[in-house]
Structure 1
Amino acid sequence: MIEFSVVDWAAWAPGLTERSQWMDWARTPFLPQGEGTPALAEIPAMQRRRIERLGRMAIQTACWCEDGQGADSQVPLVFASRHGDVARSMELLGSLAANEPLSPTGFGLSVHNAIAALYSIARGHRGNYLALAAGQATVEAACLEAVGLLADGAPEVRIVVYESPLPDVYAEFADEPDPFFAWCWRLAPADAAGSGLRLAWQATEGAPQTAPGLLPHALDLHRFLLGQDASLEHVSQGQRWCWSRRV
């Protein structure tokens, strides 16, 4: 079991760009839909042009969650996404299939840690960062990594979670809804002020996976943070993840 506090958060999705909108959404959740891209005014225009919609969403929430006191350049970052910028990868695969030359820039921006690297370069971040993917347990894996960094002495860790719809060629493999969204949590030790959370887990081999709901699991966890539910359970790939609030 691990425990931590979420001392601040930021989120962006189509139609949900203000904190008040997210709080209303948490009370009556719906699947975000629509167009739109964050302005990302914090990033210089020359660098901003290289960032696709998914990256803009993720980086925007990371920028919004900076503490504004100059300490962010060393705060560890955990970027977490099940599929990353898979649409860009599909473009590269299409070029290969057509015997067309690959764009070096396109390839460099398709790797799983590209969005984290773009944020680090643009914001002058010099601390530890990583990018991970762990299926429907991606947020849980990110929190485990973050708590390990806290135990190593980091005063805070920022988790950035972001997803986008799968390309049509992968649609048959989708196991949950897949809207565009991104959120960032600032995690601190359990005794810090903020929203205290507890995460426990146990092996449940043979147990059925949690059926898909209205929201993807990662977005449902953000709803849980903002809401009033006492607990949230999720079964995936032989593990039962149990979220609860620290009182």
Structure 2
Amino acid sequence: MNIDFVVNRWAAWAPGVQTQAQWQAWAQAPWLPVGDDSPALSEVAPMQRRRIERLGRMAIQTAYWCQSAARDDLPMIFASRHGDVAGSLRLLESLVSEQALSPTGFGLSVHNAIAALYSIIENRTGNYLAVAGGAATPEVAMVEAAGLLADGADEVMVVCYDASLPDLYADFAEEPSAFHAWCWQVAAGDGSDAIGLSCGAGQASTEAPSALLPHNLDVLRWWLSGDRLLQARADASHWQWQRHG
């Protein structure tokens, strides 16, 4: 499988790294973002904003920064490996202690909740998807985007985001974790500025996974750094990102 695309617009947010200049500098000397701050998300009315958890604020903030103001029909893909895992854990703890579940808390913990909130707030009429692809979540998001582009969409907004895992899940972590979100507005393309993504079964990767960053952030680092190749292995599949120019 091979797909090609161009990134027309982008934005990203993590504690301590928000502007494009900050992200470009970070990509040359990356570090794992840490901190408790959240985006201001001033684009959203206070009554709506107060319902959005920290992870959702990050994802929605990057969507606002990246969106085309004149487009309300742009297809969107919201991709997260773990989603609001902290909110889900709180619900499980309530069940264990035999407490009543909050309907609002439950509704906002489902995997498509952040995408739905953004769509409702912005009165978006376009298609949106919420995906989780395990270790290959950013790759799965781009495959979905390629499908929408092949179906006739001229552009697709892709939002990739994740949170730090709660301590309870530390023994199950396969990679570092950090609060972060990034958004690309992509279109089909195969010119010198295009990115290629390919997948094959059983191919051997020549690169070790990043010991510093979650894969989701490593993809952004690679794209900003100007490096030619990024290889990743997820389960039985080998993925390769390649810069054509």
Settle same-fold status: TM greater than 0.5: yes
Unaligned runs of at least 5 residues, structure 1 = none
- Letter of the structure 2 residue corresponding to residue 168 of structure 1: D
**What's 2:177 paired with?**
178
Tell me the distance in 1 between the aligned counterparts of 2:206 and 2:169.
Answer: 23
Q: When the two structures are superposed, what TM-score results if normalisation uses the length of structure 1? A: 0.95
The alpha-carbon distance between structure 1 residues 33 and 195, as it changes in their structure 2 partners (threshold 3 A), is: farther
**What's 2:167 paired with?**
168
Q: What is the DSSP-based 3-state SS (H/G/I as helix, E as strand, rest coil) of the residue aligned with 1:185?
A: strand
Shift of 1:35: 1.6
Tell me the distance in 2 between the aligned counterparts of 1:190 and 1:208.
Answer: 27
For the Cα contact (< 8 Å) 1:209–1:236, is it kept in 2?
no
Tell me the distance in 2 between the aligned counterparts of 1:145 and 1:207.
Answer: 23
Shift of 1:211: 3.9
The alpha-carbon distance between structure 1 residues 137 and 225, as it changes in their structure 2 partners (threshold 3 A), is: same
Tell me the distance in 2 between the aligned counterparts of 1:207 and 1:147.
Answer: 24
**What's 2:127 paired with?**
128
**What's 1:242 paired with?**
240
**What's 1:34 paired with?**
35
For the Cα contact (< 8 Å) 1:210–1:236, is it kept in 2?
no
% identical aligned pairs = 54
Shift of 1:196: 1.4
**What's 1:91 paired with?**
90
Unaligned runs of at least 5 residues, structure 2 = none
- Letter of the structure 2 residue corresponding to residue 43 of structure 1: V
Structure 2 residue 149 is matched with structure 1 residue 153: no
Structure 2 residue 61 is matched with structure 1 residue 63: no
Tell me the distance in 2 between the aligned counterparts of 1:219 and 1:211.
Answer: 12
**What's 1:50 paired with?**
51
Tell me the distance in 2 between the aligned counterparts of 1:134 and 1:199.
Answer: 15
- Structure 1 stretches of 4+ moved >3 Å: 205-212
Q: When the two structures are superposed, what TM-score results if normalisation uses the length of structure 2? A: 0.96
For the Cα contact (< 8 Å) 1:160–1:185, is it kept in 2?
yes
**What's 2:104 paired with?**
105
Q: Name which of 210, 223, 226 aligns with 1:225.
A: 223
Tell me the distance in 1 between the aligned counterparts of 2:12 and 2:205.
Answer: 32
Q: What is the DSSP-based 3-state SS (H/G/I as helix, E as strand, rest coil) of the residue aligned with 2:213?
A: coil
**What's 2:197 paired with?**
199
Q: What is the DSSP-based 3-state SS (H/G/I as helix, E as strand, rest coil) of the residue aligned with 2:16?
A: coil
**What's 2:11 paired with?**
10
Shift of 1:227: 1.1
Question: 1:152-189 CA distances to partner (integer Å, 9 max, x unpaired)?
Answer: 11010000000101111111000000011000000101
For the Cα contact (< 8 Å) 1:209–1:237, is it kept in 2?
no
Shift of 1:213: 1.7
The alpha-carbon distance between structure 1 residues 88 and 67, as it changes in their structure 2 partners (threshold 3 A), is: same
